[in-house]
Structure 1
Amino acid sequence: MKRFACTVFLIMALFSSTLQLEVLADPVQTARPKYEIQAKYDASKQTVSGHMVVTIPEMRLFPQKEAFFQLYPNVFKDWKYEKESKPEKPGYLNVKNVQVDGVTVKENVKETILQVPFGKEVPIGKTARIEMDYELVLPKGGTRLNTYENTAFLAQWYPMLVVQDKEGWHNDPYTTVGDPFYTQMSDFEVSFDLPAGYQVISSAKDQASPAEKMVLKQDNVRDFVAVLTKDYQVIRGKSGKTDVNLWYLKGMEKESKPLHEAALSSMKFFGERFGEYPYEEVDVVLGETGFGIAGMEYPGLITSIAKMPTMTGETPAISVVAHELAHQWWYGVVGSNQAKEPWLDEGLTTFSEHLFMQKQMKEDDRDWLKKASDKTDEIHKAVGIHSAQKLYDYPNEIYGIMVYIRPAAMMYQLMDDIGEEKVMEILKTYYERYQFQTATSQDFFKVANEVSGKDLKPFFDKWLYFKDGEPKKTNTAS
Structure 2
Amino acid sequence: MKISLKDKRTRIWLAAVAAAVLVVVLTLILLPSSPGRDAKKSTYQIQAEYSPSTHVIRGSMKLNYLNQTGETLESLSLHLYPNAFASEDTAPFPQDWMELAYPNGFNTGGIEAANIRVNGKEAQTSLEENNQILNVKIPRLGKNRSVKLEMDFTLTLPNASGRFGYTDSGVNLGNWYPIVCGYDGGFVKNPYYATGDPFFSETALYEVSITLPQEYTLATTGVITQKDQSNALKTVWNIKADNVRDFACVFSADYKLLSEQVGDTIVYSYFTDEETGKKALEFAVNSMKIFNELYGVYPYPQYTVAESDFFIGGMEFPNIVFINKQFYKLQNLLTLEHVVVHETAHQWWYGVVGNNQVSEAFIDEGLAEYSTMVYYKKTKAPEDYRTYFNYYISNNYRFAMAELRQRYNELNMSINKPVNEFEDDLAYETMVYTKTALMLDTLNQQMGDEAFFKALQSLQSKYQFKSITKDEYIAAFQAQTNLPVSKMIDAWLSGKVILH
TM-score bracket, shorter-length normalisation: 0.7 to 0.9
1:457 correspondence with 2:457: no
**Structure 1 residues 247 and 361: CA distance shift in structure 2, 3 A:** farther
1:388 correspondence with 2:420: no
State the superposition RMSD in angstroms.
2.5
- Aligned with 2:136 (options 106, 113, 116): 116
- Aligned with 1:107 (options 109, 119, 125): 125
Structure 2 gap segments, 5+ residues each: 1-38, 230-234
Q: Distance in 2 between matches of 1:216 and 1:223?
A: 13
- Aligned with 1:333 (options 345, 349, 352): 352
Deviations 1:247-279 (A, max 9, x none): 002xx2231112211111011011111110000
**Structure 1 residues 196 and 60: CA distance shift in structure 2, 3 A:** same
Q: How does 1:35-434 map to 2 (within 5 A)?
A: 35-57=44-66, 59-80=68-89, 81=91, 82=95, 84-85=97-98, 87=102, 88-110=106-128, 111-118=131-138, 120-149=139-168, 151-165=170-184, 167-206=185-224, 211=229, 212-249=235-272, 252-289=273-310, 292-306=311-325, 308=327, 314-315=332-333, 317-362=336-381, 363-364=384-385, 365-368=388-391, 369-373=393-397, 382-394=410-422, 395-434=424-463
Q: Distance in 2 between matches of 1:175 and 1:467?
A: 27
Q: Distance in 2 between matches of 1:376 and 1:457?
A: 27
Q: Distance in 1 between matches of 2:466 and 2:248?
A: 19
Q: Distance in 2 between matches of 1:174 and 1:439?
A: 21
Match of 1:11 in 2: none
**Structure 1 residues 209 and 186: CA distance shift in structure 2, 3 A:** closer
TM-score by length of 1: 0.85
**Structure 1 residues 309 and 281: CA distance shift in structure 2, 3 A:** closer
**Structure 1 residues 325 and 305: CA distance shift in structure 2, 3 A:** same
Match of 2:29 in 1: none
How far apart are residue 188 of structure 1 and its match?
0.5
Which range is displaced more, 208-217 or 143-152? 208-217
Identity %: 27
What amino acid maps onto 1:113 in structure 2? I
**Structure 1 residues 200 and 418: CA distance shift in structure 2, 3 A:** same
Deviations 1:208-252 (A, max 9, x none): 867412321111100001123322110111111110000002xx2
Structure 1 gap segments, 5+ residues each: 1-29
What amino acid maps onto 2:292 in structure 1? G
SS of the residue aligned with 1:355? helix
What amino acid maps onto 1:443 in structure 2? E
Higher RCO (C-alpha under 8 Å, 6+ residues apart): 1
Q: Distance in 2 between matches of 1:207 and 1:186?
A: 18
**Structure 1 residues 192 and 373: CA distance shift in structure 2, 3 A:** closer
- List structure 1 segments (4+ residues) > 6 angstroms apart after TM superposition: 375-378
How far apart are residue 169 of structure 1 and its match?
1.3
How far apart are residue 414 of structure 1 and its match?
1.7
Structure with max Cα Rg: 2
CA contact (8 A) 1:144 1:155 kept: yes
How far apart are residue 366 of structure 1 and its match?
3.0
Deviations 1:175-234 (A, max 9, x none): 111011101011111112222233321111125867412321111100001123322110
**Structure 1 residues 58 and 207: CA distance shift in structure 2, 3 A:** closer
Match of 1:440 in 2: 469
Match of 2:5 in 1: none
Q: Distance in 1 between matches of 2:247 and 2:45?
A: 11
Q: Distance in 2 between matches of 1:93 and 1:246?
A: 30
SS of the residue aligned with 1:247? strand
Q: Distance in 2 between matches of 1:418 and 1:209?
A: 50
**Structure 1 residues 48 and 107: CA distance shift in structure 2, 3 A:** same
SS of the residue aligned with 1:164? coil
**Structure 1 residues 209 and 98: CA distance shift in structure 2, 3 A:** closer
What amino acid maps onto 1:239 in structure 2? V
How far apart are residue 333 of structure 1 and its match?
0.3
CA contact (8 A) 1:256 1:306 kept: no
SS of the residue aligned with 1:398? helix
What amino acid maps onto 1:305 in structure 2? N
SS of the residue aligned with 1:452? coil
CA contact (8 A) 2:451 2:480 kept: yes
Which range is displaced more, 339-348 or 447-456? 447-456
Deviations 1:88-107 (A, max 9, x none): 43110001111101111242
How far apart are residue 155 of structure 1 and its match?
0.6
TM-score by length of 2: 0.81
Q: Distance in 2 between matches of 1:182 and 1:169?
A: 10
